[in-house]
Amino acid sequence: MKYIAYCRKSTDEKDKQVLSIEQQLAELKEFANREHLEIVEFITEARTAKVPGREQFAQLLKRIEKGEAQGIVSWHPDRLARNSVDGGRIIYLLDIGKLVDLKFPQFWFESTPQGKFMLNIAFGQSKYYVDNLSENVTRGMRYKINNGIWPVKAPIGYKNDSSTRTIQIDSEKSKIIKKVFHVFAEGNEHSSSSNKSFTDISLLLHKLGISASKNKPLKPDQVKRILSNRFYIGIMKYVGEYHQGIHKLFISKELFDRVQKKIKLAERPTRKGSHNFAFNKLMKCGECGASITGEVHNKYYKTTKRAASYTYYRCTKKLKPCSQKPIPAQHLELQLRKAVDDVALPQKWANDWYKWLERDEMEEQSKSEENLHKLKLNLDILDKKLNILLDSYLEQVIDANTYKMKKNEFFEEKLNLTGEIEKIKADGSSWLEPFKNFIGSALSCAKIARAKNTCSDLAIGAKTVGSNFFLTNRQLSLNYNQGFASLAARRLCQPRG
Ligand SMILES: [Zn+2]
C-alpha cells in the first residue's frame, strides 16, 4: 500500500506541543521506517486548518481520489483537519474505499466504525475534546488488555486483525521468527564458536525479509528485544503490569527459555586483546588460593638472533606470598585434555545407557501423571489467590502499587508452574532430560579432548565435567561433577573402550 505523508504547522499556532514541520517530517520518516510504510510523497503546508481552503491539503485529497496512494500518514489527526468539512471529506474517502488506512504516531486508528467515530471527533472538535478522546482510547486499550488482547501494534509474527479486533498469527512472518529462535538456540553449548550473535540473526532476518527498512537490517538491540519478548509465550507487559494474553502461540516455553539462556551467554563480556587466555578464571593456586592467569613472555636469543614468545600460566599471588612457579600453557593444556578425556563416554556405553533410559521413561510416564495432577492443583490455588488479590484491590483493602507488585509475583509463579506442566507433558519427567544431556556431554568429551586448537572449547568442556580446579606444583587437580565422577572411577578399572 502507498502512503502520502502530510505535515502542517501554521504560523498562528502558538502551541509548543506541536512539533515544527521539520520535526514532524523527521518523526514521520522514522515512524514509516519502523512500520515499513511505503511513502510516495511528503507534503508540507504552513496554513491553519481551522477553516477549510488549504491548497496542499486539497492536492492530497485529489491524489487519493485518483488512486495514487491509498493511505495517509500524519503526526496526529489534528494536523489533517480541524474543521468538520475537511474531516468529513477524509471520512468520506474512507467510506468509499479510496482511502484504506490512516497512520499517526500520536494516535491509534483502526478502520472500524468505532475508529472512524473517534477520528471524526478528533477532526472536528476543540483540543479539549481531543484530549478527552485520548483518554477514551486509553480506556479502550484497558478494556482490551484486561481481556487478554494486545491493544497496540502486534509484534513481528503477529498481526492486528481489524475485522475481529484481535491479534492473529501472521502465517508467513511467524515461521521466520520461529526459525530464528531455533537458530539462535541451537548454538552448541559445548562450543563457543557456533553460537550466533544478534548481528548474525539480524542478517538472517534481513535475508528472510524482516528488516528495519528496505536495505537496512535490524540493529542488534532490536534483535535482542525480539528474542526476549515474552509476548511470544503469551505474557503481555503493558504499562508496567503483566497480563495473560489470549493470542495463540507459535514459540514453546521450552524454546523461549533456551533462547534466554543464550542471550545471557551472548551478553557475557569478552576480553579483547592479542592473546586469548582460554584458561583464565578456571583455576586457583593450590598453595595460596589466588587465581591462575595467563601471561606472555617474549624472549630473544642473542646467539641465534631469534625472537620467540611463550605463553605461561601463573599464580597471581594477590592474597599472600607464594612459592609456586609458572607452568607453560602447553603443559597445562595437556593436563586439561587428559582430565576431560578421562570422563569421555565410549559410544558403546552410550548406546546401552540410551536403552536403559527408554525403559525408565516408560516407568516415569505413570509417575508423571501423578505429578501433573499435583501441579494442576497448585495452579488452581494460585488462580484463587489471584482472584482474592483482585477483590481486595477492588475493595480498596490494598493500594494499586501493592496490587501490581503482588500480581506480578503470582504471575511469575504461575509462569513457572505452567512451564513445568508443559515440560512434563512434553517429555514425561524432569530428570530424564538432564540425564540425556549428561550422556550427550560425556559423549562429546572425547571429541573436545582430542580436537586441536580449540582451547576455549576445552575450557568450557572442563567446566562441564568438573569444578574446584587447583594447580599445585604444576599439577592440575579437580573434582568431577556428579555423573562424571563415576565415569572417572570406571575409567580407572576398565581399559579404554
Ligand atoms: Zn599461589
Distance 282 CA to ligand 1 centre (A): 14
Distance 294 CA to ligand 1 centre (A): 14
**Within 10 Å of residue 436's Cβ, how many Cβ atoms?**
15
Q: How far is CA 360 from CA 327, 364, 443, in A?
A: 46, 6, 20
Distance 480 CA to ligand 1 centre (A): 22
Distance 442 CA to ligand 1 centre (A): 32
Determine if residue 420 is left, alpha or beta; phi over 0 gives left, psi from -120 to 50 gives alpha, anything else beta: alpha
Distance 152 CA to ligand 1 centre (A): 59
CA torsion, points 69, 71, 74, 76, in degrees to nearest 10?
Answer: 150
Distance 277 CA to ligand 1 centre (A): 18
Neighbours of ion ligand 1 (CB under 5 A): 285, 287-288, 290, 315, 322, 324
Q: Are 107 and 76 in contact (CB under 8 A)?
A: yes
| Helix (H), strand (E) counts: the chain | 16, 14
Distance 472 CA to ligand 1 centre (A): 8
Distance 322 CA to ligand 1 centre (A): 5
Distance 146 CA to ligand 1 centre (A): 61
Residue with cell string 580449540: 454
> What pLDDT does residue 273 have?
44
Q: Nearest to residue 277, comparing CAs of 114, 459, 402?
A: 459
Q: Nearest to residue 68, comparing CAs of 28, 104, 40?
A: 40
Distance 327 CA to ligand 1 centre (A): 12
Distance 477 CA to ligand 1 centre (A): 14
Distance 284 CA to ligand 1 centre (A): 8
Task: Please give the domain boundaries of the chain with CATH numbers for all domains.
Answer: 2-146 (3.40.50.1390), 158-266 (3.90.1750.20), 279-497 (no CATH)
User: What are the residues facing 6 on neighbouring strands?
Assistant: 43, 74
Distance 317 CA to ligand 1 centre (A): 5
Distance 339 CA to ligand 1 centre (A): 22
Q: Please check the confidence at residue 409 and state whether its pLDDT lies above 80.
A: yes
The band of 401, judged by pLDDT with boundaries at 50, 70 and 90, is confident
Distance 280 CA to ligand 1 centre (A): 14
Q: Nearest to residue 170, comparing CAs of 225, 204, 210, 211?
A: 210
Distance 315 CA to ligand 1 centre (A): 5
Distance 318 CA to ligand 1 centre (A): 8
Please write the tens of the pLDDT for every residue from 293-319.
998 888 788 888 888 888 899 999 888
Q: What percent of the chain has pLDDT over 90?
A: 31
The band of 259, judged by pLDDT with boundaries at 50, 70 and 90, is very high
Average pLDDT over residues 96-104: 91
Distance 478 CA to ligand 1 centre (A): 16
Provide CB contacts within 8 A for 381, sequence distance 6+. Answer: none
Output the CA torsion sign for 25, 29, 30, 35: positive
Average pLDDT over residues 213-218: 81
Distance 283 CA to ligand 1 centre (A): 11
- Between vectors from CA 382 to CA 380 and to CA 385, what angle results, nearest 5°? 115
Average pLDDT over residues 86-106: 87
Question: Within 69-126, where are the H helices?
Answer: 77-80, 84-95, 113-124
Amino acid at the residue 363: E
Distance 167 CA to ligand 1 centre (A): 61
Distance 286 CA to ligand 1 centre (A): 7
Task: Give the residue, 432 or 54, on which the prediction is more confident.
Answer: 54
Please write the tens of the pLDDT for every residue from 131-185.
555 555 566 677 788 788 888 889 999 998 878 888 999 999 999 999 999 999 9
Distance 358 CA to ligand 1 centre (A): 48
Q: How far is CA 81 from CA 41, 90, 114, 244, in A?
A: 19, 9, 19, 38
31/141 Cα distance (integer angstroms): 21
At residue 443, what are phi and psi to the nearest 5 degrees? -65, -40
Average pLDDT over residues 344-367: 77
Q: Are 245 and 231 in contact (CB under 8 A)?
A: yes
What's the order of all strands across the beta sheet hosting 327-328? 292-301, 306-315, 327-328
> What pLDDT does residue 187 have?
67
CA torsion, points 200, 205, 206, 210, in degrees to nearest 10?
Answer: -150
6/76 Cα distance (integer angstroms): 10
